[in-house]
Amino acid sequence: MDDKTKIPNSLRSEAEARIDKEQMVLVNPQPGEELLHKLLHELQVHQVELQMQNDALRQAEIAMEESRDRYADLYDFAPIGYLTLSREGMINEINLTAADMLGVVRSKLIKRRFSQFVAEADRDRWYLHFGSVLKHDQRQRCELVFQREDGSHFSAQLDSLKVRNALGSEELEQAPGLHTPGGAFSVRIAVTDITERVQAETAVTEAREFAESIVDTVREPLIVLDDALKVVSVSRSFYQKFNVTPEDTVGRQIYELGKHQWDIPKLRELLETILPHNRVLEDFEVVHDFPGIGRRRMLLNARRLICKTGRTQLILLAMEDATERG
């Protein structure tokens, strides 16, 4: 007996078991009553079977609704935004997170053009990105600045992918522009807010440029070192004083500069303690015959520089020519 036969038999057996509990027994049945009783029994069994099937379908429907609600919650309240665009760039679906990012009630976003929320300066980049997504099957990524409905801005990373739509023939007829050789498709996009990261990067860049502008205005030679004691920035006066170029200086450890005149064990020891222990170097004397300028007596002073976030630490090293002091 195959499975298809077992299932109806099992259902009937259970239905008959329920009826047997309340089965009516005929006393002194008259001719024809037994047949009528059998027919009534079959109707009762069939009715119970239908009721059992309805109950099973209802339970399955409830389970599907609960599962759908769980996935809907995961979709709507995910930490990143999700949306689906038509190939024309219209919003077909969007979760609550993405709607909050754009500052618009979700119901008012459906069928709106997504490009309306891209900042004007980045709109060409968006069109290039969207066009690339439509042409390729691989995930495409870009970073854009968006403008909310209230005029405020935020930066976001987009991860976009073209996906095939499972549309029936009637839906395809109602979807103009989707009759392509590759079938109907849409574009799914994950939106990650990177505003804080962009702001941090911008702050670091501005701080570095600001520091470099100050360094260049100081008459005394100055060097900015990172935590590996590599040269990050150098003042113009340093280049002029020691007759060196940026190519020979930036990115190299201070001990490697020139003819290794700064490769002094005591100086190395002191510099290596500035960042971890917040030490200060004061009037460290270096006497050396420097190429092109002769024998000079230099006094070195250094201290730690730290940005507001605490993630970037640098050393500012100032050099004073004390040769004329004797």
Kindly report the CATH number assigned to the domain that includes residue 152: 3.30.450.20
CA-CA-CA-CA torsion sign (39, 41, 44, 46): negative
Examine the domain organization and report whether 70 and 86 are in the same domain. Answer: no
Alpha carbon distance 215, 211 (integer Å):
6
Can you give the pLDDT at residue 54?
Answer: 81
Examine the domain organization and report whether 208 and 124 are in the same domain. Answer: no
Examine the domain organization and report whether 39 and 99 are in the same domain. Answer: no
Looking at the structure of the chain, the number of domains it has is 3
Examine the domain organization and report whether 204 and 318 are in the same domain. Answer: yes
Last residue of a domain, one of 146, 177, 193: 193
Which residues are CB-contacts of 295 (< 8 A; sequence separation ≥ 6)?
A: 287, 288, 289, 323
Examine the domain organization and report whether 215 and 321 are in the same domain. Answer: yes
Examine the domain organization and report whether 150 and 172 are in the same domain. Answer: yes
Last residue of a domain, one of 176, 193, 210: 193
- 3-state SS record for 99-124: HHHHCCCHHHCCCCEHHHHECHHHHH
Residue at 297 is within a domain = yes
Question: pLDDT tens-digit profile of 56-103?
Answer: 778 777 777 766 666 666 767 788 999 999 999 999 999 999 999 999
Kindly report the length of the chain: 326
pLDDT exceeds 50 at position 175:
no
Mean pLDDT is lowest, of 12-26, 157-171, 247-261, 283-297, for: 12-26
Q: Give the model's confidence band at 311: pLDDT under 50 very low, under 70 low, under 90 confident, else very high.
A: low
What is the Cα 252 distance to its own chain's centre? 35
Last residue of a domain, one of 193, 222, 237: 193
The residue range of the domain holding 128 is 81-193
Alpha carbon distance 324, 297 (integer Å):
8
Examine the domain organization and report whether 320 and 211 are in the same domain. Answer: yes
Examine the domain organization and report whether 189 and 205 are in the same domain. Answer: no
Residue at 27 is within a domain = no
Q: Give the model's confidence band at 141: pLDDT under 50 very low, under 70 low, under 90 confident, else very high.
A: very high
By C-alpha distance, which of 142, 319, 89 is closest to 218?
319
Examine the domain organization and report whether 71 and 86 are in the same domain. Answer: no
Residue at 95 is within a domain = yes
Taking residues 312-318, what's their average pLDDT? Answer: 82
Q: Give the model's confidence band at 148: pLDDT under 50 very low, under 70 low, under 90 confident, else very high.
A: very high
Can you give the pLDDT at residue 314?
Answer: 82
Average confidence score pLDDT of the chain: 80
Can you give the pLDDT at residue 100?
Answer: 93
Examine the domain organization and report whether 218 and 307 are in the same domain. Answer: yes
pLDDT exceeds 70 at position 28:
no
pLDDT exceeds 80 at position 39:
no
Examine the domain organization and report whether 127 and 69 are in the same domain. Answer: no
Mean pLDDT is lowest, of 91-100, 142-151, 173-182, for: 173-182
